[in-house]
Chains A and B, each alone.
Chain A
Amino acid sequence: MADTPEAIKKSVRTYLFVGGILFLGTIITVLVATVPMLDVGQHGFDKWDCILGLTIATTKAFLVAFIFMHLNHEKKAVYWLFGSGVCMVCSLAGLTALALGDPIFDNFFYSGH
């Protein structure tokens, strides 16, 4: 971690740069969603807008986590703690996703037709 004054001074520039990218990412997301000329995929909101928007958001989230929250050079214990939280969310969301194929939502499943 940047602990010495010199290293901190150096990393301040990185923080500014990352801040700039975050601003830029936000502007791109908004422009793609609001300016018809820049609309990706079909006219209006569709899966391509969703993929693009979420990709930019995820990139921004990674930048915040890795640079601002110093996850790029953290101790092992932190990765285990935080990583397990993220894994838990993914697995629970995955389990919930199984419900999408659940026959209880199928009107004809139990009637035998």
Chain B
Amino acid sequence: MEIPYVVTPRKDTGLFNSKIAIWLFLASEVMLFGGFFSAYVFLRLGADYPWPERTLPVLPGLINTFVLIGSSVTVVFAWAALKMREWRKFQFFMGITVFCALIFMILKGVEYNVKFHHQALRLTDYSVIEGHLGKEEENGKPVLDHNGKEVEENLIFIETEKVTFNTVRFHKPWVEEILTQAEHHQSKLVLAADLSAVTQEGQPAEVLAKAGDPLSIELLNKIQKSYLAARSHNAAYRTAALREEWKSAKAANPGKRGWQIASDVNIDADALAPKLLTEVSTVTFAVNPPARFDFHPRDIKEADGQSRMRDDTVIGGKLLDSPMVFHYVDAIDFQFLAMKAVKKGIDPIVAIENSWLIKNEAFAKEAWEWNKLQVAKIEKNLIDKYGINKKTGKPNREPTSKERYRIGWKDFVAKADGVDRDKEKIKLKEEFMGPDYSERESKETFPHLSVPRDQIGFAAKFTPAWNTYYALYFTITGLHGLHVIGGALVLAYYLFFGRKMYMENPEWLANRVEIGGLFWHFVDLVWIFVFPILYLM
């Protein structure tokens, strides 16, 4: 059967099938992106932290805008070429369109990659540090984790004496990791005490494992199995006993509601005890001799004496110095600290000068003093240019919070080069990829910094975890990127596989390209808003 209205329009709507379909789809897309844009507006209005204004590198965003606008023009040219039955021209313009999509995605990939490797850290006093962490080394070689990736200098070190596993929740890879580390330190994990449990109803307790038995996954599995069996056995008895209690309580109190007699319903624990099996919910292993184990901060809530991993494994032992080591600090940001200080009615400058960073790190103090001079220059320039308000006596224009309280990587470059802010020389590559650390190292542009664990408030890479701005940035641009990939695949299909259809029914292909083009224009239209909102505002 031939499908009607694929080339000729329906009389009532005046449209062919796919056109109705694409506009319906685009209407739903408007709602989807509209939802995200309103989320942006409301999250920004309600943000309880200084919103990162103009924080993304403009150049890659600008080039991507040009690339998308350019491709919007070429896709419409490709459609026009088909309408005029010029296949070669169509190929040429469609080829450029698909190529533009490729460039867009490559630039996006570079941008994402830079973010995924850039560390952000908020201290407990709300100062923010940005930069790159160093890598753990042992005997001059980088330490690799079980995925073969280099481990960053951001580990929790514990002089471990004992490890207590939760017999249900223990995470196998972490147990293996602990075993590997013990082996590395020529230490052994052995059961701290005999483990006996009643495993048969009415029988005496039997020894499941003896003190001194080495830790193994098999042993943990065995204990887990006995625990789960005991739990289900005991639960059945407890439920039956409770049912019986309710039954007799109801019989003794006719006409009363459940809540009125609930306090009288109690299981006789002593009577039940002989029937129950032993539930071994935790098992403790001693580390012999005690050794320094290291843990990823995301896996553990550290404390001196007792730290708890996310799988409820308790690590007993002294918490050692576990600093977070920045190989390069490329920004210090006091905006959040200043905002908090103002809320408390404290002078932000006083608060900043009493911060941990300024008090303990000479480079931070030096950079802050340099920044104060720069702000004074900006203030003077603004007064010279725009004057002072006669009524209020205040300058008509003042430096922004970012200028006052943030020392960004370009400022560090300016400081190292001995020039004023905004006079620094940045290479084109750096505009895309961020600072070229290896070259700037000789000038000692970016300082090293070791942050003690107790100063760390919150740390994350520049990922959605860092704040709502980055959450929105990745959601909106990620979703948009998926649209670019989808659109480019469809257009590439017309380009590489459209020849046959062109020979058979060129108008049908033209209609299809028009539909693909409509989607592509929509993708461009979304980016027209994404670029200023995320990059320039």
Contacts and interface: CB of A to CB of B under 8 A. Distances in A.
Interface in A60-105: 60-61, 64-65, 68-69, 75-78, 81-82, 84-86, 88-90, 92-93, 96-97, 99-100
Contact of A15 (B23, B30, B53, B76): B76
Given A30-B58, A44-B402, A64 B524 contact: yes
Contacts, number: 147
B382 interface: yes
Q: In this complex, which of B29, B37, B58, B537 has the most chain A Cβ atoms within 10 angstroms of its Cβ?
A: B537
A77 B532 contact: no
Q: Which range holds the interface residue count of chain B?
A: 35 or more
B34 A77 contact: no
A89 B30 contact: yes
A112 B177 CA distance: 56
A65 B525 contact: yes
Nearest to B520: A68
Contacts of B525: 61, 64-65, 69
Q: In this complex, which of B28, B76, B397 has the most chain A Cβ atoms within 10 angstroms of its Cβ?
A: B76
Contacts of A97: 42
Contacts of B54: 33, 45
B23 A57 contact: no
B30 A53 contact: no
Given A19-B69, A33-B54, A45-B537, A26 B28 contact: no
B42 A96 contact: yes
B112 interface: no
Contacts of B335: none
A5 B80 CA distance: 8
Q: Which range holds the interface residue count of chain A?
A: 35 or more
Contact of B23 (A29, A56, A82, A99): A82
A96 B73 CA distance: 36
A111 interface: no
Contacts of B77: 12, 15
B536 interface: yes
B337 to A, nearest CB: 19
A92 B34 contact: yes
B19 A8 contact: no
Contacts of A89: 30-31, 34-35, 38
A34 B422 CA distance: 11
Contact of A85 (B19, B27, B41, B58): B27
A63 B73 CA distance: 12
Given A29-B536, A44-B400, A78-B19, A34 B45 contact: no
B415 interface: no
Binding site secondary structure of chain A: helix
Contacts of B28: 85
A33 B30 CA distance: 27
Contacts of A18: 73
Interface string B1-43: 0000000010001110001100110111111001101100110
Contacts of A23: 66, 69
B73 A16 contact: yes
A86 B30 contact: yes
A19 B96 CA distance: 15
B312 interface: no
A99 B263 CA distance: 43
Nearest to A54: B532
Nearest to A21: B69
Contact of A78 (B23, B38, B69, B84): B23
A30 B62 contact: yes
Interface string A1-14: 00101001101100
Given A12-B80, A64-B525, A69-B518, 17 more contacts: A19-B73, A23-B69, A45-B400, A64-B524, A68-B76, A81-B20, A81-B24, A81-B27, A82-B27, A88-B31, A89-B34, A92-B31, A92-B38, A93-B34, A96-B38, A96-B42, A97-B42
12 contacts: A5-B83, A11-B80, A15-B80, A19-B73, A34-B58, A45-B537, A57-B533, A61-B528, A75-B13, A84-B27, A92-B31, A92-B34
- What are the nearest 9 A-B pairs in CB distance? A85-B27, A89-B34, A44-B400, A19-B73, A75-B14, A33-B536, A43-B397, A93-B38, A85-B30
